[in-house]
Amino acid sequence: MTTASPRRPDGAADSASTDAFEDNWRTMFTQHRHLFDLIQAVIALTAAGDHPAPVPQLAAALHRTPDDTRRLIDTTTAGVSTWGRIWHDGQHAHLDMAAPSTPRYQYRIGQRTIGVSGCAPDTFLVAQALDQPLRVQSTCPVTAAPITVDFSPTGLVEADPADTVVALIDPAATPGTILVASQQLDPAAVDRDACSQQPFFASAEASRAWRETHPTGRVLPVADLNAWWRRLRAETTAVPAPAS
CATH code of the domain in which 230 resides: 3.30.450.410
Reduce the secondary structure of 166-216 to three states and give it as a string: EEECCHHHCCCCCCCCCCCCCHHHHHHHCHHHCCEECCCHHHHHHHHHCCC
- The strand pairing partners of 201, in sequence order, are 165
Q: Which residues contact 33 (CB under 8 A, 6 or more apart)?
A: 236, 237, 238
pLDDT band (50, 70, 90) for residue 3: very low
Q: Dump pLDDT digits (tens) for 89-126.
A: 999 999 998 887 789 999 999 999 999 988 999 999 99
| pLDDT at position 192 | 77
Upper half-sphere CA count for residue 83 (Cβ side, 13 Å): 25
CA dist., res. 223 & res. 204, Å (int): 14
Q: Which of the four pLDDT bands, split at 50, 70 and 90, describes residue 212? A: very high
Q: What is the pLDDT of residue 123?
A: 94
Domain that holds residue 97: 15-235
Q: Determine the pLDDT at residue 71.
A: 93
Residue 143, domain member (yes or no): yes
User: Which H helix or E strand runs over 107?
Assistant: strand 105-109
Annotate 106-117 with b (16+ C-beta within 10 A) or e (fewer).
bbebeeeebebb
Structure confidence at residue 190 (pLDDT): 74
3-class state of residue 12 by DSSP: coil
Q: Say whether pLDDT at 183 is over 50.
A: no
pTM for the whole structure: 0.85
Residues 6+ apart with CB under 8 A from 107: 48, 97, 113, 114, 115, 116, 123, 126, 134, 135, 136
Residue 206 lies in a domain: yes
- Look at residue 6 and tell me if it is in a domain: no
Using one digit for the tens of pLDDT, what is the confidence trace for 27-63?
A: 888 988 888 899 999 999 999 999 999 999 999 999 9
In a domain? residue 8: no
Domain-located, residue 3: no
Q: Domain tally for the chain?
A: 1
